[in-house]
Amino acid sequence: MLKQFLPNQHVKSIFDIKPEELKRKGIRGIITDLDNTLVEWDRPTATPKLVQWFEEMKQHQILITIVSNNNKERVQTFSEPLGISSIFQARKPLGLAFHRAIKQMGIKKEETVVIGDQLLTDVLGGNRSGFHTILVVPVAQTDGFATRINRKIERIILNWFRKKGMLQWEE
């Protein structure tokens, strides 16, 4: 049961994910969470470093779709200036939004990674839907109200994975 929460990979930051590595693995698309994965949950726009990361992915023909549980205004205010497709109110960990994203990108799930900062939404949803999942350390130490509850449960699961030697994690 707990293995559903175990990511295939974990990295400190989105910036540790390189397009060359993804291409070598046959990856053509990224489904990524927004809040505390790409930027702090209360930052309205992308940082210059993140804009550069998106550009690198585009240069390597890697497609990106932001899949967020947040509302339309938050997600579109962030994604539209960047020209990145998005799905808001995704209801993760349910799989519908993940499948919509690959359909929009025109790729297969085997060619896609799911990146996020939460076990209970991003990793669980990606794993249950059959995607390769990458867990990142949250970019902010603070969270919105609902996420704070998830983080307490996540800490228990992460500690269990640590004790079993299944995951090395930094906060």
CATH of the domain at 113: 3.40.50.1000
Strand, coil or helix: 3: helix
Residue at 169 is within a domain: no
pLDDT in tens, 14-62: 999 999 999 999 999 999 999 999 999 889 999 999 999 999 999 999 9
Domain count, the chain: 1
pLDDT in tens, 154-166: 888 888 888 888 8
Residue at 108 is within a domain: yes
Strands 85-87 and 132-136: what pairing? unpaired
- Could you list the residue range(s) of the whole structural domain that residue 43 is in? 2-163
Token duo for residue 144: 């919105």
Strand, coil or helix: 90: coil
Residue at 131 is within a domain: yes
Residue at 71 is within a domain: yes
The predicted pLDDT at position 148 comes to 75
Residue at 168 is within a domain: no
**Single pTM value for the model:** 0.91
Residue at 171 is within a domain: no
